[in-house]
Amino acid sequence: MFKLFKKKETEAEEPKAAAEERPVEEEHDPFPKAKPAKWKCMTCGYIYDPEVGDPDSGIAPGTRFEDIPDDWVCPTCKVGKDSFKKLDF
């Protein structure tokens, strides 16, 4: 009995990861600045605290507001980052 084997050509091409973001290495600052600023949502008053982050949205504690992905939205009212205002101390 003869069997015909159909050879399937496997694609050697690897799927390219779409612009994978590398973790930003923290720069060494000889003059430690004050704590990263908190940001307030101007729509609902939610305050983003970098020390807390937004674990529900995958933002780890210690993430500066500036380092949050641009598609992040307010966990309370879902507005974008543009609706946040930096809180100065």
Nearer to Zn ion by C-beta: 36 or 72?
72
Minimum gap (Å) between residue 77 Cβ and Zn ion:
3
Give the binding site for Zn ion (CB under 5 A): 41, 43-44, 46, 74, 76-77
Q: Which residues contact 38 (CB under 8 A, 6 or more apart)?
A: 47, 48, 49, 50, 65, 86, 87
- 3-state class of 54 per DSSP? strand
Minimum gap (Å) between residue 52 Cβ and Zn ion:
15
Enclosing H/E stretch for 39 = strand 38-41
Nearer to Zn ion by C-beta: 24 or 77?
77
